[in-house]
């Protein structure tokens, strides 16, 4: 007797099993097409949602160059530079905010009347102004040359006045906080690199080929002044009406003690090389470092009233420092590991700020450099 477990399936049972197998095979064959259809539907109708916050580039990037700097109030700094970049700090350079500007031209300099009103100038004659602390910058029209129009310097004065200088003899003046500008000298095939007014009447121009000019009537007329060099003078500073210093290419230093009537060419500042002089005994007291001339280009100079020194900066990280009478000078580098050039130096509220390939604060008493970075 055969057990029930060994009996063959009935025809009805066998037919049901064949139908189930076909359905399973059909379902399995359809799965790839369902997956493809699902992916197409997701791609067409489902948009990815952003996760987290958008990463913003830092206000100060390593590739930036800043050519101008201004400090209208304690702790407030504006720096301007490549591709129309303007950055502002309200906490002495600890944090920075990138401000939107209407230009991509390199900005060469910035000057401010107060912490709300400022003007920046640059390539192709661009001039931008702000009246609200930089929340908005507006480009204004200035008289242009048909040849070349780079503006290199701008200096703000009282009552909304400012002067800007640059290529093709550009000498521009505003009396309404930068809204309108007038050309004060005819075009010429030479650049003015710096302009400085000691007061409303007495001003100076420094330019190519050692050229100097001065005015005693507020810029209505300008007279040439004899210079002791034939290479470009880049900047000038005065500590009072009589005493001034001008700097230029190849480490040039000039000084006046009679209000600029005459200028004296000074020896180049010297710095230690790290080597030792060999003409003295090798004793601890007698060791002296070998000195070499600082022949790097000098781009800017200022008078530091608190320290009673002249301070100039230039190419390859060089600094040059002179005493009150400008008859004794020494030199060094901002950072032995950083050979960046610097184009502007200002002294404000007891601080010395530099702009250039690197921007930051220099403490000459401690020989310490604080580079400004984004945080």
Homologous superfamily assigned to 190-375: YVTN repeat-like/Quinoprotein amine dehydrogenase (2.130.10.10)
pLDDT at 149: 97
**Residue 16 pLDDT more than 90?**
no
Kindly indicate the confidence band of residue 45, based on its pLDDT and cuts at 50, 70 and 90.
low
**Residue 5 pLDDT more than 50?**
no
Q: Give the pLDDT mean for 203-212.
A: 97
Question: Would you list the domain boundaries of the chain?
Answer: 65-168, 190-375
pLDDT at 52: 54
**Residue 247 pLDDT more than 90?**
yes
Alpha-carbon distance of 299 to 211, in angstroms, equals 15
pLDDT at 273: 77
CATH code of the region 65-168:
2.120.10.30
pLDDT at 29: 65
**Among 21-25, 106-110, 196-200, 278-282, where is mean pLDDT lowest?**
278-282
């Amino acid at each position: 007797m055969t057990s029930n477990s060994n009996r063959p399936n009935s025809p009805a049972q066998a037919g049901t099993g064949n139908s189930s197998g076909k359905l399973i095979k059909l379902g399995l064959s359809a799965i790839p097409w369902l997956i493809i259809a699902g992916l197409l539907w997701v791609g067409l109708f489902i948009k990815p949602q952003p996760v987290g916050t958008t990463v913003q580039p830092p206000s100060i990037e390593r590739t930036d160059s800043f050519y101008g700097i201004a400090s209208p109030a304690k702790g407030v700094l504006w720096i301007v530079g490549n591709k129309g970049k303007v950055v502002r700090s309200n906490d002495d350079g600890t944090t920075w905010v990138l401000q939107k500007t209407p230009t991509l031209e390199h900005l060469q300099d910035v000057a401010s009347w107060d912490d709300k009103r400022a003007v920046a100038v640059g390539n192709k004659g661009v001039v931008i102004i702000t009246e609200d602390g930089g929340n908005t910058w507006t480009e204004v029209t200035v008289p242009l040359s048909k040849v070349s129009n780079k503006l290199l310097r701008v200096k703000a004065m009282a009552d909304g006045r400012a002067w800007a200088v640059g290529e093709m003899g550009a000498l521009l003046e505003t009396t309404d906080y930068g809204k309108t500008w007038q050309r004060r000298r005819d075009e010429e095939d030479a650049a003015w690199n710096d302009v400085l007014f000691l007061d409303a009447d007495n001003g100076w121009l420094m330019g190519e080929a050692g050229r100097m000019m001065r005015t005693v009537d507020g810029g209505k007329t300008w007279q040439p002044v004899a210079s002791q060099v034939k290479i470009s003078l880049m900047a000038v500073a005065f500590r009072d009406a009589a005493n001034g210093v001008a700097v230029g290419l190849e480490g040039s230093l000039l000084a006046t003690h009679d209000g600029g009537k005459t200028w004296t060419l000074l020896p180049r500042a010297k710095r230690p090389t790290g080597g030792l002089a060999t003409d003295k005994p090798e004793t601890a007291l007698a060791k002296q470092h070998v000195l070499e001339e600082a022949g790097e280009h000098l781009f800017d100079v200022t008078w530091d009233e608190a320290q009673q020194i002249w301070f100039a900066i230039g190419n390859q990280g060089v600094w040059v420092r002179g005493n009150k009478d400008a008859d004794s000078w020494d030199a060094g580098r901002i950072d032995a590991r950083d050979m960046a050039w610097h184009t502007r130096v200002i002294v404000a509220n007891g601080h010395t700020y530099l702009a250039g390939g690197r921007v930051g604060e220099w403490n000459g008493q401690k020989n310490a450099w604080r580079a400004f970075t984004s945080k």
